[in-house]
Structure 1
Amino acid sequence: MDLDGGNRRVFNRLGGPSAAQPTDSSKNQKVCYHWRAGKCSRFPCPFLHRELPHPTGPTSAAANGSGAPKRFANDSGFSGPAPRRGPNFNNNHNNSWGRMGANKVVRKTEKVCNYWVQGNCNYGDRCKFLHSWSLGEGFTLLNHLDGHQKVVTGIALPAGMDKLYTGSKDETVRAWDTNTGQCMGVLNLGGEVGCMISEGPWLFVGIPNFVKAWNTQTNQELSLSGPVGQVYTMVVGNDLLFAGTQDGTILVWKFNAVTNCFEPAASLKGHTLAVVSLVVGANRLYSGSMDHSIKAWSLETLQCLQTLTEHTNVVMSLLCWEQFLLSCSLDQTIKVWVATENGNLEVTYTHNEEHGLLNLQGMHDSESKPVLLCACNDNSVRLYDLPSFSEKGKIFAKQEIRAIEVGPGGLFFTGDGTGYRVWKWAEAVPKP
């Protein structure tokens, strides 16, 4: 490979000795538009990196004190053509912005390349932006299924079925075949889906002023009335269905096997704004609200046992893991709570993020190590090893990821503004 000859050819285009004697090809060369804007990153660039007209003959040679233009040392230590300069470049500045040598590693920024997304990035491995929807090792993207017109707010996998359901703010629920990845049907609900869960054969969908319930085995459909405004979150515990609503109330239903219906059982009041997160653990129900608080309720008496006020913004998601309660908030923190001797919860650790937090899910990787999946409002999901909170990887999307669901066999799912992605932890390699 003629590296030296290649340098001379590029060098001549920048105004080397051959430029003094124009040829038919050099007469038609144009000044690089991107170079004029100070952001040309092509190497070699087929256009001129100088303004026209350019002085020729003895005058140009005398300007440099010799018969050839100056050459600068690039970052690799080899002599090469003069660095590309923007129109406002000042020769008095220390030149530390030189072009990277061919053998240098391009440091990737943690941002997905917009041109790569559109399928027309020309830089390939030299692009400083990511050509991938994830960073990190140990997990891979299996599939990306589009279909929804707005953000996916719920993902559910009813037990014993080969179907996956997604709900969206586009007012629809879609059913997907888990074997083929094909959409099997679309149900229009006439209202934004605020949340969706499955329990046994039942699929529950929260919409404004109602909870819709479907028995996926018998196709029985029920409408549970009582909510005021949007239903943002649901959970099942102690044979009860709980729904957090826009007016700050937690509604409770119990299934009656005789009538094959869900009957109202209680209405839990205490939050002053909408309840947006619910979780059950250690014989308690925990609720997070837009009023910045977390409340702990007894599953036996349905009485409030404790109110936690350490968060300073909306408590978006709650997760029970072993003896710990984890909470995340738009205040850019994840808090880890542990019960004291008297049974009350106290913060034992606070993890700080640079962005607001939307959703928490926990699972084990291929080596059975606990991993926390945390959706942030910068259109990403962080993956953390527990209990160290050391970063294990990142997942990116075009829009906010509002839904995360864990499946069998190392699968997990993330829902964003158009559909959902299927991820899988790689199989662990046995040690010799």
Structure 2
Amino acid sequence: MIISEHRPFQSLTQTGLDSPYHSLNPRTQESTMDVEGNKRVYQRLGHQKVCFYWRAGNCNRFSCPYLHRELPPPQSIGGDAAKSKPPHGFADDQHLTSRRNPNFSSSSTWGRAGGDRVVKKTEKLCSYWVQGSCNYGDKCRFLHPWSTGDCLSLLTQLEGHQKVVSGIALPSGSDKLYTGSKDETVRVWDCQSGQCTSVINLGSEIGCMLSEGPWIFVGLPNVVKAWNTQTATDLSLNGPVGQVYTLAVGNDMLFAGSQDGTILVWKFNAAAHCFEPAASLKGHTLAVVTLVVGANRLYSGSMDHSIRVWSLETLQCIQTLTEHTSVVMSVLCWDQFLLSCSLDKTIKVWFTAQSGKLEVTYTHNEEYGVLTLCGTHDSEAKPVLLCSCNNNSVHVYDLPSFSKRGKIFAKQEVRSIQIGPGGLFFTGDGAGKVRVWKWLAETTAAS
């Protein structure tokens, strides 16, 4: 049975015995109804089932036929004992008032095995809390913070984008944060105040962003925009076919993965202060959605389920990895390893074997498809992997153990993660929200 987060309060006339959840089977149970003025009293004989909704802390049924306590009732009900207290399921006027008004406070703990019962949380963000309308407070079964674990804290939230945040950039020497979105805008944020200082409308969906030194690169359909934040240089790099989904820089070259499966390469000309076309790498049969440079190699992941390894010296493909069974969403270089994630619900760790070829040395399974990977170090300089999954959460893992440190939750999927200075990092989600996080120092118990 699927239970919704919050069941709307229903009128008392809709919560009688005709309810599909609270029904009495005349073959197995007996019930008598005594009418005393306007009061309806239900007496049940021998019912041993504890109310599932009461255990969750959100039963709002009047005359509930199920137990609102953990201990079973006495073996027999009748005589003076039955007259000395209301039958189970009876609600007095005070209890009815508390049901009508969730903020009603009372010292009474009727129907509860202690008023301070701890509610077991489920690892799901409370949608009512997100909207600012959850009345359950600490008793809500769903999460009310944006993260779990004690390793990080949320500093602030930047709002303004109307669609998914597809890129975050922090150019060196600048006190500004740049964010791009599929709402066709780039927003510029002041790092001191957190205020948006300007909005640049590009007229097309932004597929990705990258900063390298003072340069900011923006991937758009059929073009890459290049801005220099120090010299105010504005360049357009033509050549891509379709949306540019990913960008990477290495060996003074700029790489762009496009929708038609081609990787375009530009070489930076320092004398002319421009980017000149250098090569076009072909081999993928579908869109290239992720690129990373490391160990004198370029690694490309594609919708064709493969990863291609390219030599930065010759710009030739030297190996094709085909172990993933769905779209390769992100690739990451860490130490001597390559990490890749996919919508096939796995993260694969690759290591160079004696043959010189990359082979899978470990596969980490996730419950949902994996969207993006980001490597960083925590406040103790320990390597950490941020892993965004297709269930609106980011898992925080220690490396290389993959032991879980915590989770970050969002209203929609997190598509962009960017590391900042001083233990900061940024996440951008499908709702257009950019959140700023900071790693916390580990606390040690006093000896």
Question: How does 1:59-138 map onto structure 2 within 5 Å?
Answer: 64-69=77-82, 82=88, 101-138=114-151
Q: Which residue of 2 aligns with 1:423?
A: 437
Task: State the distance in 2 between where 1:327 and 1:277 align.
Answer: 10
SS, match of residue 254 in structure 2: strand
Q: Which residue of 2 aligns with 1:309?
A: 322
SS, match of residue 145 in structure 2: coil
| Alpha-carbon displacement from aligned partner over 1:246-296 (angstroms, at most 9, x marks no partner) | 000000001112222111000000111100000000000000000000010
Q: Say if 2:53 and 2:59, in contact at 8 Å, map to a contact too.
A: no
Question: How does 1:337-356 map onto structure 2 within 5 Å?
Answer: 337-356=350-369
Q: Which residue of 1 aligns with 2:69?
A: none
Which stretch has the larger CA shift, 133-142 or 224-233?
133-142
Q: Which residue of 2 aligns with 1:247?
A: 260
Residue 101 of structure 1 and its aligned partner are, at CA, apart by 4.1
Question: How does 1:138-287 map onto structure 2 within 5 Å?
Answer: 138-287=151-300
Q: Which runs of 5+ in 1 are unaligned?
A: 1-18, 30-36, 52-62, 72-78, 86-97
Q: Say if 1:84 and 1:99, in contact at 8 Å, map to a contact too.
A: no
Q: Which amino acid aligns with 1:421?
A: R
Task: State the distance in 2 between where 1:384 and 1:44 align.
Answer: 34
Q: Which amino acid aligns with 1:202?
A: W
Classify 1:137/1:220 alpha carbon distance in 2 versus 1 (closer, same or farther; 3 Å).
Answer: same
Residue 395 of structure 1 and its aligned partner are, at CA, apart by 0.7
Q: Say if 2:388 and 2:414, in contact at 8 Å, map to a contact too.
A: yes
Q: 2:349 aligns with which of 325, 331, 336?
A: 336
Q: Say if 2:325 and 2:344, in contact at 8 Å, map to a contact too.
A: yes
SS, match of residue 226 in structure 1: strand
Classify 1:27/1:406 alpha carbon distance in 2 versus 1 (closer, same or farther; 3 Å).
Answer: same
Task: State the distance in 2 between where 1:245 and 1:352 align.
Answer: 28
SS, match of residue 125 in structure 1: helix
Equivalent residues, number: 375
Residue 47 of structure 1 and its aligned partner are, at CA, apart by 8.4
Residue 391 of structure 1 and its aligned partner are, at CA, apart by 1.0
Task: State the distance in 2 between where 1:354 and 1:41 align.
Answer: 27
Q: Which amino acid aligns with 1:423?
A: W
| Alpha-carbon displacement from aligned partner over 1:184-218 (angstroms, at most 9, x marks no partner) | 11111111100000001100000000000001111
Task: State the distance in 1 between where 2:52 and 2:196 align.
Answer: 47
Q: Which runs of 5+ in 2 are unaligned?
A: 1-33, 42-50, 66-75, 92-110
Task: State the distance in 1 between where 2:90 and 2:264 align.
Answer: 65
Classify 1:202/1:100 alpha carbon distance in 2 versus 1 (closer, same or farther; 3 Å).
Answer: farther
Q: Say if 2:223 and 2:239, in contact at 8 Å, map to a contact too.
A: yes
Classify 1:41/1:115 alpha carbon distance in 2 versus 1 (closer, same or farther; 3 Å).
Answer: farther
Q: Say if 1:83 and 1:99, in contact at 8 Å, map to a contact too.
A: no
Residue 67 of structure 1 and its aligned partner are, at CA, apart by 3.7
Which stretch has the larger CA shift, 283-292 or 339-348?
339-348
Q: Say if 1:317 and 1:358, in contact at 8 Å, map to a contact too.
A: yes
Residue 120 of structure 1 and its aligned partner are, at CA, apart by 2.1
Task: State the distance in 2 between where 1:82 and 1:166 align.
Answer: 58
Task: State the distance in 2 between where 1:333 and 1:428 align.
Answer: 29
| Alpha-carbon displacement from aligned partner over 1:137-196 (angstroms, at most 9, x marks no partner) | 110000011110100010010012111110001111100011111001111111110000
Q: Which amino acid aligns with 2:258?
A: T
Task: State the distance in 1 between where 2:124 and 2:416 align.
Answer: 21
Q: Which residue of 2 aligns with 1:382?
A: 395
Q: Which amino acid aligns with 1:229?
A: G
Q: Which amino acid aligns with 2:437?
A: W
Task: State the distance in 1 between where 2:40 and 2:112 align.
Answer: 26
Residue 306 of structure 1 and its aligned partner are, at CA, apart by 0.4
Task: State the distance in 1 between where 2:59 and 2:322 align.
Answer: 59
Q: Which residue of 1 aligns with 2:415?
A: 402
Classify 1:46/1:349 alpha carbon distance in 2 versus 1 (closer, same or farther; 3 Å).
Answer: closer
SS, match of residue 243 in structure 1: strand
Residue 104 of structure 1 and its aligned partner are, at CA, apart by 3.2
Identity of aligned residues (%): 68
Task: State the distance in 2 between where 1:286 and 1:231 align.
Answer: 16
Q: Say if 2:257 and 2:291, in contact at 8 Å, map to a contact too.
A: yes
| Alpha-carbon displacement from aligned partner over 1:206-252 (angstroms, at most 9, x marks no partner) | 00000000011111110000000000000000000000000000000
Q: Say if 1:40 and 1:84, in contact at 8 Å, map to a contact too.
A: no
Task: State the distance in 2 between where 1:101 and 1:81 align.
Answer: 19
Residue 377 of structure 1 and its aligned partner are, at CA, apart by 1.0
Residue 119 of structure 1 and its aligned partner are, at CA, apart by 1.6
Q: Say if 2:126 and 2:143, in contact at 8 Å, map to a contact too.
A: yes
Task: State the distance in 2 between where 1:183 and 1:279 align.
Answer: 30
CA RMSD in angstroms, aligned pairs only: 2.9
- TM (norm. structure 2) is 0.78
Task: State the distance in 1 between where 2:344 and 2:59 align.
Answer: 47
Task: State the distance in 1 between where 2:128 and 2:317 align.
Answer: 52
Residue 342 of structure 1 and its aligned partner are, at CA, apart by 2.6
Residue 427 of structure 1 and its aligned partner are, at CA, apart by 2.8
Residue 39 of structure 1 and its aligned partner are, at CA, apart by 5.0
Q: Which amino acid aligns with 1:424?
A: K
Q: Say if 1:136 and 1:394, in contact at 8 Å, map to a contact too.
A: yes
Task: State the distance in 1 between where 2:303 and 2:353 align.
Answer: 26
